[in-house]
Structures are given as C-alpha cells and as structure tokens.
Structure 1
C-alpha cells in the first residue's frame, strides 16, 4: 500500500460535511457521470448550494490533488480536475458497500482474518488493522479478526488491491461453542456506539425525507442536490462501521434497518433531481 493510497483512504473516511468530505462524496455520486472531469468553477457553483464558500472548495481541491485523489487537467481552456485511477478504484469499492441492500443470514457463517507482518515491515500492521476495521471487522481475540461471511469477497478484493494479501489468511468459519453468538458479537463490536451512529443519521435525515415526501409541485433542483449530497455524505460511513450482522444477533430495537430504509428512500426520492441539477449546472457553464 503506497503513501498515496493511504492518503486516499484517509480522505474516504474524513469527517462528514467538511468541504473535503463533500467533494469526495460528490465525485462518488456524480463525478464519474461527468466523465471524471469537472471545472473548478463548476465545483464552486455546485457546493454553493450547500452553503460552502469558494475558498474552502479551492483549498479542499488542492488537498485532494496533493493526496492523489484528483489530477489537474485543462479542458477547452478551463482549469479543472479529473479522478486518478486509484480514486476511481476506491469509489468503485465504495459503491458496492454504500448502495448494497444486504439480507445477512446467521447460517452464512463468518470470515476470519489472521495476519502476520515481518518486523521489517511493522508499519503495515497498523495499516492492516485499520483497513480491517474499516471493512467492518470486529476483534474476536488478539490477532483474530471476524466479520459476517458476506464480507469475504470485498475483503479479498480490497486487500489484494492494497497489496496486503501476502500478509493475511482468510478463513470461513462457523461458531460452534461455547458462548451464545449474540453474546459474542457484543464483545466483538461496540453495538451501542454503532446504534448511536444510526440514530444520529436518523435524527438529521429522517425529517428531511418526511419534508420531501410532503412536497407537492415542482422540485427545487438545488435543494434536492444539497439534501441528497448531505445524505450520501452522512450515510457512506455507516455501512463500513456496521458490518451488517444477522438480525437475530442484534437488539430488538436496532435502528440500522430503519436508517438504511431512510437512506434508500432519500436516494430514490432525490437522486434523479440531484443528477439533473449537476448536469444543468455544468452544461450551463460549458
């Protein structure tokens, strides 16, 4: 894993609703539909719909360029940026997690990850732990990481892409004994913290969905774009924090399913209008 790739991972998990985070979310939701290139002026105009001023946008763009997420490129005399190839791969990985509609089953079992890193490359231990945590793995025991089996293919793909596969062994597993699995997952994951993340998402975005569902008449494209981008920016972290555990292992009041439905409904309600706003804004300044 190169330093550039590590920087991209940091940008992917940056604090939500900052200019940098909103730009990463924008390129994930819309940038590839534009061919990956966009003028700086259009980025400024688009993020103005979210109340972000021009200078913070320029600063965030510069940081994403330094980290290897964006590549400067002029087109038709206009200064702009295109996505780097590692950024495209990172966003494609995100698509599979962010927009997936999983129905996990306890019978599917688990995937275990064990890794061994030579002392001469010990810095990669932190990278591996960090990457496994971001994929949704919990810690079953020192050096033993566990996740629902449905994360196996994604884990294999990501560790291979980041050149970490040589240090890792992955196993499929079934929990046989001795503690009840529902009790075990409370040790492996911080379920109260995960629940709070879902509840915070619901507190902010469920009223937005309610308001839009009551809206009649023409849709305000700038408002749809702004509310949709904020929702995606908030949501895109949750499927990584929450590994998608089978419902029988979770508390009866678990808010994750409700949060997922709110996001899916917001995406369905606002996604097309948001894309229309992006296309008209960019086309209007071509």
Structure 2
C-alpha cells in the first residue's frame, strides 16, 4: 500500500503547474518585500511568466480571498491583494523550516504530544492528526505522537492555531526500552517514503542546475524568476515531512542530503534575481 509520501512524490511535478501553488509561492517569496501586497495585474503578469493563464490566476485569487488567505485591498486606487495576518505569520514561521539549512541535530531526546479530542470535534481531531504528520511527527499509538525535541515550537504553534490546547499535553522524553531506538524510529517514520519525496525533488532540479551551471555569472532575471519559483514550489513541502532526525537514525545514503544541497545551490544563485524581477514587475 502506498504511503502518503508516495502520493507526495508523484504530486511533486504537478504541484509546480498549479496556479494556487504558484501564487502561494509568489506571495511567500516576494510579497513581504513589497509590504505583503501585490496588485492584481502584478500577480497576473508574474503568473504569465509561469505559463498560468489569466483566467486561472484570477480564479485562484478569488478562491484565496474567499478562504481568507488573501485580503482584497486597494493601494493608491489600484486593486490588489494582501496576505492576511495569519498567512504572514505562517510564512514567517515557515522560513525557518524551508529556507534555512538544517544539519542533522545531535540526539537531544524527543517531544511527545498526547491528546484526547471529543467526538463532536472529530473534524478538528482529523485535522490535528493530518497536520502533525505534515510537520514531521509520527504516531506511536492512538493519540500519542512523537518527534525530535527541536519540533517543540512547531507543536505548540499548531495546538494554538487549532485552539486545542485544553485537549493536549506536550512532554519532553527519552526512549529507554525495550527495542533499540534506531529500530523504533524505523517503525514510527516512513523513512523510505520521505526519501522518495526527496529523490523526486532532486530529479526535478537536475536539468535546472545543469542549465545554470552553463551560464557562469550571466543571469537572465525572467528565467531566474521562473526557475526559482518553480523549484521553491516543489521544495517548500519537503522539509515539513522530514522530522530532522539525528544522523545516527538515518540511512547512510539519506536522500535529504542531496536534495537539500540541490535546493540551496539554486536558492543561493536565483533567489535574489528572482525577487528583483518580481519587485520590478510590481513597480510598473
């Protein structure tokens, strides 16, 4: 049976062609340098660079407005959309996970999340379980979940965002017995599935890395914007599935190492030119 990570790996290439995914990346990567706001025309022009049709871009913007992700706002009489305060917080928190290099930490122990949510709130319970998985937690049993200790802040933020603090307790812990911790980790996390996500990402980056390696210091700003936005759209989910386990619990050929190297090789070269391109479009 496929794990959720198999679906994520297959989904990776498709994600960078979806208007909604690309617009989220545009706002996350570029809008905060423009006060969190872009005109509707700016978004449409940037989407056109990514081969997204105008009607698809407008439809996605309208959907984000209905969901409260974007707020319709005029600046100097120009119609546009700003990120909501909640989305700004999400983007700011996400930077630490997505845009900072994560070396395998030392083994400092574990965080345990225990919760019991009443049946009348089962939709929230389902959402909590889904989001715990998507920030790197693994289910030990029932309402008991585990992650490396460095994910404590993520767990607390998640509990507050879902307003489930009164149903949840969070502990720091050590694994004492009875099976080896390395064996338990293999049971708790689908490491093969996470590696599949990383391998799929690395596959998408190879032709892009090859292209830019041939250009030396020459930068085509439009191409930099297209490539970086696409790569970031593919990348920004992967670090959340990875709990950031100590190296002693990972396979020696852990695919996350190569995927991380590939992303930051492109990030370091393209992020600045891509941002400048987006801001120049916004000024027109």
| Cα distance change on mapping 1:99 and 1:47 into 2, 3 Å | same
CA deviation vs aligned residue, 1:113-171 (integer Å, no higher than 9, x gap): 10011233333211221221111101112221111111012211232233222211111
| TM-score normalized with structure 1 length | 0.90
What's the offset of the Cα at 1:46? Answer: 0.9
CA distance in 1, matches of 2:206, 2:185: 28
- For 2:247, the equivalent position in structure 1 comes to 247
1:39 CA displacement: 0.9
Q: Does 1:16 align with 2:24?
A: no
Q: Partners in 1 of 2:131 and 2:161 — Cα distance?
A: 12
TM-score (norm 2): 0.91
Cα RMSD of the aligned pairs, angstroms, is 1.6
CA contact (8 A) 2:107 2:246 kept: no
Deviation per residue, 1:65-92 (Å, 9 max, x gap): 1110111112222211111111112212
The answer to whether structure 1 residue 80 and structure 2 residue 49 are counterparts is no
Partner deviation per Cα, 1:40-78 (whole Å, 9 max, x = no partner): 111111121111111111111111111101111122222
1:194-213 to 2 correspondences below 5 Å: 194-213=194-213
* Contact persistence 1:104–1:150 (CA under 8 A): no
Q: Per the alignment, in what secondary structure is the counterpart of residue 231 of structure 2?
A: helix
CA-CA distance at 1:38 after TM superposition:
0.9
* Pairing of 1:8-157 with structure 2 (within 5 A): 16-17=15-16, 18-157=18-157
* Aligned residue in 1 for 2:8: none
Question: CA–CA distance in 2 between the matches of 1:198 and 1:30?
Answer: 25
Higher deviation after alignment, 119-128 or 185-194: 119-128
Map 1:188-227 → 2, pairs under 5 A:
188-216=188-216, 218-227=218-227
**Which is further off, 110-119 or 213-222?**
213-222
> Whose RCO is larger (CA < 8 A, sep 6+)?
2
CA distance in 1, matches of 2:90, 2:107: 30
1:104 is displaced (CA, Å) by 3.5
Distance 2:53 2:32 in 1: 23
Partner of 1:269: 269
SS of residue paired to 2:15: coil
Q: What is the distance in 2 between the residues matched to 1:255 and 1:219? A: 29
Alpha-carbon distance in 2 for matches of 1:106, 1:219: 39
Contact 1:42 1:281 in 2 (8 A): yes
TM-superposed deviation, 1:244 = 1.0
Contact 2:25–2:229 (8 Å) recurs in 1: yes
Q: Distance in 1 between matches of 2:132 and 2:99?
A: 20
Shift of residue 202, structure 1, vs aligned partner: 0.4
Deviating above 6 A after TM superposition, structure 1's stretches of 4 or more consecutive aligned residues are: none
Could you say which residue in structure 2 is the equivalent of 1:165?
A: 165
